Amino acid sequence: MKHTLQRILVTTALATALPVNAWAQDEAAERDALKMAAIEALMMAPPDKALPLVTRLLDSDQPREIKAPALFILGQIDEPEAHEALLSFAHQSDGELQLEAVRTIGISGDPDLTRQLGEIYESGDTPVRRAVLEAWMIAGDEESVFQVAANASSDEEFDAAVHQLGVMGATDRLRELRDRPGASETLVHAYAIAGDTESLGVMAHDPSDPERQLAALRGLGIAGGPDDPDLFVEIYQGSNDPEVRDAVRQGMLVAGDDESVLRLFRSATSDQDKAELLRLLVIMDSDAAMEAIDEALGGDGS
């Protein structure tokens, strides 16, 4: 009887507590939703009236989820006080809010603000430096990103800056970095991202740096193929190096250049070479594969 009574009391307590807890959670969620609605409304408010409220919110102990959109609003207010507050968060805050402040400066596109990110970059850790590079990329500040690449003290730092230059399509800046020792593969990838097929074509034709040549051939595929429709064919036919030929095949595959593959198939002088090119056409799901299959089987195409 005693144990039965205990079970009844526990069951009754749980039944009573659960709705209260659920109600408390619903109430907290509604409060957060109301705060977010208020922040959204601040985006539409006049800057001079929104600024004091945003500043007070950022000085409060509200969670990051509430403060992050407030930082975005701050970045849209073109007032010295707003700029100072945003820079303060970018300099002094920790974790995600600092990164959010840095990104917000990039989104603002204000050259006076983005210029001051250089100091934050120099003193920041790896996540902060990546955020600064991204902010410069968003703001279109090629010069700042280029300076990081040109003066990089490590391969990792160089790679990160060059990648952003590629995303920005900063081909002229990337060409200035071409002679950096040991940077061939990184630069080639950036050229591919930027679509600089002219530079890739020059490097693909140059066998003096084999590693760079192979990377350039693959990069041409990523960039959608060379400007010269004969380039893949000429390099393939002019080389007996298996690695070069493999890189050409990879480039043609990624670029979807089945016409060059078919040309090479028809001009190949060995059955092994023909077989590799035929398999490539099949992998590419090319209509030309059926023509090549028919020719390989000795058909007359009729």
Query: What are the pLDDT digits (tens) for 100-159?
Result: 999 999 998 889 899 999 999 999 999 999 999 999 999 999 999 999 999 999 989 999
Residues 218 and 284 in one domain: yes
Burial class (CB in 10 A: 0-12, 13-18, 19+), 268: middle
User: By residue range, what is the domain housing residue 217?
Assistant: 195-302
Report d(CA 258, CA 263) in Å as an integer: 9
Q: What is the CATH number of the domain that holds 112?
A: 1.25.10
Q: Is residue 125 part of a domain?
A: yes
Residues 233 and 294 in one domain: yes
Question: Which residues, at least 6 apart from 136, have a Cβ–Cβ distance to it below 8 Å?
Answer: 106, 114, 117, 144, 145, 164
Query: What are the pLDDT digits (tens) for 201-211?
Result: 999 999 988 98
Report d(CA 98, CA 88) in Å as an integer: 9
pLDDT tens, N- to C-terminus, the chain (302 residues): 444 444 443 344 334 444 545 444 566 667 767 777 777 777 777 888 888 888 888 888 887 887 888 888 888 888 889 899 889 889 876 678 899 999 999 998 889 899 999 999 999 999 999 999 999 999 999 999 999 999 999 989 999 999 999 999 999 999 999 877 766 788 899 999 999 999 999 999 999 889 889 999 999 999 999 999 999 999 999 999 999 999 999 999 999 999 999 999 999 999 999 999 999 999 999 888 888 888 888 865 44
**Total domains in the fold of the chain:** 3
Residues 172 and 255 in one domain: no
